[in-house]
Amino acid sequence: MDPVAFLNATSAAFVASPTAFVLTAALCFLAGFKWSSWLGAKHLKFAEAQVKEYKDKLAGASPDEAKARIERLEGRVEAMSKELDAAKNLDLVEVFEDGLKDRKIVLDGGNF
């Protein structure tokens, strides 16, 4: 149906009974307002929960303090990674033999 023809046909009903039209429009407006308020409250609760979770995880630290803490941890991880790489290339037999150079080992029945 043509929208203009539909409006022409229904405009007579609006003119004849404006109270019903105004009440219906007000009811629709109120329902929409209530629904948007509910969604806003739900979104606000979610955002507050996220903020609380972040504060719990950061133990109350500010974003700058958290950044500094993360940078310190990354530095420690990098240092440990370098030490681990150095240990992978280490010959353990050579280290053991170097430790025994100045020591006497007396074998008496399997006891050192």
State the residue range of the domain holding 7. Answer: 1-43
pLDDT of 104 > 70? The answer is no
CA–CA separation, 10 and 109 (whole Å): 113
Structural domains of the chain, count: 2
- 39 lies in the same domain as 66: no
Residue 55 lies in a domain: no
- 35 lies in the same domain as 66: no
Averaged pLDDT, 46-63: 86
Residue 108 lies in a domain: no
The structure's pTM equals 0.42
Residue 35 lies in a domain: yes
Residue 70 lies in a domain: yes
pLDDT digits (tens, 9 = 90+) for 70-82: 999 999 999 999 9
pLDDT digits (tens, 9 = 90+) for 32-51: 999 999 999 999 999 999 98
Residue 49 lies in a domain: no
**Considering only CA atoms, which of 82, 58, 79 is closest in space to residue 70?**
58
Q: Greatest CA span in the chain, whole angstroms?
A: 119
Return the DSSP state at 111.
B
